[in-house]
Chains A and B, each alone.
Chain A
Amino acid sequence: MSTALVSRSERPPAPAGTGARKLTERAFRIRESGIIVVLLVFVAITASIQPRFLDITNIQFILVNTTVFALLALGETMVVISRNYDLSMGSVLGLSAYLSASQFGQHHGIPIVVVFLIGLGIGLACGAANGIMVSAGRVPSLVVTLATLYIIRGIDILIVGGNEVVASSLPAAFLNIPKATVLGIPVLAIAIAVVVAVGAYYLRSFRSGRELYAIGSNPEAARLAGIPIGRRVLVAFVCSGAIAGVAGVLWAAQYGTVDSTAGTGYELQVISAVVVGGVAIFGGSGSAVGAALGALLLNTISSALYVLGISPFWDQAIWGFLLLLAITIDRLISVRLTAALRVRGARHE
């Protein structure tokens, strides 16, 4: 067409957009590996000051402690990816922990598997309630799960009354679950790692998983594209609830004593872990593996503080600071990335 613009359209065609693709991939890799780097740095520093940190028993301890949070992080990731929030996870965990663990006292000889199923069922029911209200009721999930956080905790308190489940009422086999190891690695940690990997794979490689990302990336476009938003979001909440239910049973196995305060305050910690792990707070991107790593990082820090003899009171301040740091870095990366992508896009028309 116009001669002046000929030079622009005849620019040697590098396969249009590969520059953009490489850039994005590089950015994501930096982000995901960033957590691992911080983790390693932390471990290295701590171990150099206090070699006891790398004792096998300590590592096992950290890994086992992380399992509950890693599970919660997986569930929360599924929800946050779709631009929703589940604030009720802590309450669900608490309810499930008590109700399932108390079965041992009430029904002697009940198989452990059944107890797990009970926990799963409780979580499933709570998750379904959340999911139905969010998808059918069209109420923002922040509001719904804020309400269910209260309601479920209240139900828990009413049921528990002043009682508690004590470790002595729990069968040894149950309490040994967190202690079993294979080649020095806790079986539980391996199992949870597998679960997280499966979850991440599902989100990445299955249509319904990708649709969750789509819903979080642009809810309007998702609607126009005919994605069954209600159904997907419902399933996400059901999963997150079920996971919280199972996590509750595991929690009981680890701590032995369960009262009405189990799980209080966990939701905000989980969301922090998830965000530090690279899941965008408005959804659309991030992986469950990153979220689990975030949980691992936070637990490692707690343990490191303990081992270094620093008062545990620094714990909260540090993870608050880390969260702020993580989102700031994410923001800077995203701003630079979008600007760079625009330039590359313009050049390759």
Chain B
Amino acid sequence: MAERPGIYLRLAAAAVRATARRPAYLAGRTLAAGLLVAVEIAGVVLLVDRFGTIGGWRTAEVVLLFGLAFAGQGLALLFGDTLEADKVSTLVRRGTFDQVLTRPVSPLGWVVASYVDTRFLGRVLAGAGTVVWAADRAGVAWTPGRAGLAALAVVCAAAIIFGVLLAAAGFTFVTVQGSEAVNVLIYGGQYLASYPMQIYGSALRFLFVWVVPFGLAIYVPALAILDRQGPPGMPGWLAWLSAPAAAAFLVVGGLAWRAGIRRYVGTGS
């Protein structure tokens, strides 16, 4: 982003203050976001309990994966919710984005900071709470290393989703229409990755480990946290790949965003 990070912090603070002026509304939305996680987790518990285990994973272990995924998603949406296709196209159609372009700041910094949505803190906290609860049930002995891995998993998953959102937003500048395909990619992809990866075929596994590294960001660190063996033949160094993979998603997303803006300025709407 641009020269001074201070202005983006100010913009984000202004966005938070704006919602905080209606505390009941903010609390309600945050609570709802958290409750949604609880409901989805309950669904998983019911489902997995039916079978006892899925691919050799016990209920608590599966729930831990979900907790990490939800926290990552919440973190990504805290900053990137406004990058969703329909919201970007609204910004464009209302002319708000034209105004952003007349400001002496980075358009991305402006959009992200100005539309920070604190409601997603509810999702982050509920996800984190789920992880703690599930880890307890699964008998995880927390060490600083494991806690660090859990945090890394959340941050990397968030970065990957943010990267996808960013790329989608860049694409939206070209189409200027809400694209459902992207939502399918984000939520569908996440849903798939939340289940232990052995239940997918090796081709699909390959796709998800290498192409959409949700599995990389969440599954591999989860193995270490739960002290489980990965599928046979999985190289040990894979655990080190989530951070660079997440960074790569961010870079690609950023490039797509820039290309989108260049295209937008070229064509207008």
A, B: real partners: no
Interface on B for A, CB 8 Å cutoff?
none
